[in-house]
Amino acid sequence: MANEDGLLELREQLDSIDNKILDLLNNRMKLVHKVGALKAKSGGAIYRPEREKSIIDRLEKINNEKNGLLNRNAIEALFLEIFAISRNIELPENIGYLGPQGSFTHQAAEARFGAMSSYVSISSIKGIFKELELKKIKYGVVPIENSSNGIVNDTINGFSNFNSKIIAEVVLNIHHTLATTCDKISDIKKIYSKDIAFDQCRKFLTNFGLDEVELIPVESTTKAAKLSAIEPNSAAICPHVAAKLYNLPILFENIEDKDNNKTRFFILSDFENTPSGNDKTSILVNLPDEQGSLVKFLNDFNDAGINLTKIKSHIVEGNSIFFIDFDGHKDDENVKKVLEKHKSSIKILGSYVKEIKDI
């Protein structure tokens, strides 16, 4: 009986804390309304990644000083959802992602904007850039590179042809499952997936003799799950989320060849971020076709003390261009001088809070 009394008392304390949390959250949302009204008058953006980062940095510091039980990941998980709810209260806005529902790009969008936001599935990367330019969506989420497969060509082409700005990056660990209604591997006669996913799971397929069954590429891993759910003797290589979406039993988890398989995504919109103190900038560079032009260009960054973190060459409409990431914000004094010197060769894609050094 004493134990039950003690448990009841603890639950009452938890209920009391929950009530206080609810009151505080409602008070926060009232202030959000006021902030939203001021932003509406000034035309300011609702989503400010640099502001969200500064809040989480501050909370993490306070938490550590007080020896709190929450780590940074837990703080981010809680407050990113609070931020997402706040944005929807201020001004509900559509977020376009490379679909369909359950895709890795959809997961990247939800990781940044939360579960309650308004999402729009768009069938192509070009379509996301186009809908942003037409202002039918406020934000777009596109993949830019995978640690195994490199740069996404369609995204580079989108940057070349449209003027959307990068306002944030998201990096996801990419895990694939083998999902099927078959009880045994030997019953599987065909496997559906996206071509890139087949490449990322080649060792698994070979080890289990599945490289000899029919491998059928489809537009997305989510569609693969949908097809396998209704077709006997088939399987799908797909995300855990996609398998659950179509009630497709998972036979094997984490079948990707590399443990550190990651994909980096960009969040696009029509505004620019202010400096956060920990920024990265992405640019496209089309240099003159003359000897030493690339060396001279790179030396200017080196002389200005700017750390280049990525240089990738790319062909767009027959022309060779470079996709470059570097540490710093476009408005930093040392960065501004270099960008101004080469402004005829550079397209600034955006400056944004640095989530990860590289993949």
Q: Mind listing the pLDDT tens digit for each residue in 263-304?
A: 999 999 999 998 988 999 999 999 887 788 889 999 999 999
DSSP structure string for 108-153:
HHHHHH-TTSEEEEES-HHHHHHHHHTTS-SEEEEEEEETTTEE-H
Closest CA to 146 of 218, 208, 195, 210: 195
What is the structure's pLDDT at 335?
Answer: 96
Q: Mind listing the pLDDT tens digit for each residue in 16-66?
A: 999 999 999 999 988 887 876 776 555 556 678 888 888 999 999 999 999
What is the structure's pLDDT at 119?
Answer: 92
Do residues 104 and 263 touch, judged by C-beta distance below 8 A? yes
Percent of all residues in the chain with a pLDDT value above 90, rounded to a whole number: 69
d(CA 300, CA 306): 9
What is the model's pTM?
Answer: 0.82
DSSP 191: E
pLDDT class for 199, splitting at 50, 70, 90?
very high
DSSP 88: H
List alpha helices for 139-185, DSSP H. 153-161
What is the structure's pLDDT at 301?
Answer: 95
| CATH (residue range 177-252) | 3.40.190.10
Q: Please give the mean pLDDT across all residues of the chain.
A: 90
Reply yes or no on whether the pLDDT at 129 is more than 90.
yes
Kind plus residue range of the DSSP H or E element containing 171: strand 165-173
What is the structure's pLDDT at 331?
Answer: 96
Beta bridge partners of 178: 237, 252
Q: Do domains 22-90 and 277-353 have the same CATH topology?
A: no
DSSP 187: G
Instruction: Tell me whether residue 303 is exposed, middle or buried, using C-beta atoms within 10 angstroms of its C-beta: 0 to 12, 13 to 18, 19 or more.
Output: exposed
Reply yes or no on whether the pLDDT at 350 is more than 70.
yes
Question: What phi, psi does 273 have (nearest 5°)?
Answer: -85, 150
Q: Would you list the domain boundaries of the chain?
A: 22-90, 177-252, 277-353
Mean pLDDT, residues 141-154: 92
Do residues 238 and 177 touch, judged by C-beta distance below 8 A? yes
* Superfamily covering domain 277-353: ACT domain (3.30.70.260)
Mean pLDDT, residues 186-198: 95
Q: Which CATH class is domain 22-90?
A: mainly alpha
Lowest pLDDT segment from 46-50, 132-136, 246-250, 286-290? 46-50
Q: How remote is the C-alpha of 78 from its chain's centroid?
A: 18
Q: Mind listing the pLDDT tens digit for each residue in 68-80?
A: 999 998 998 899 8
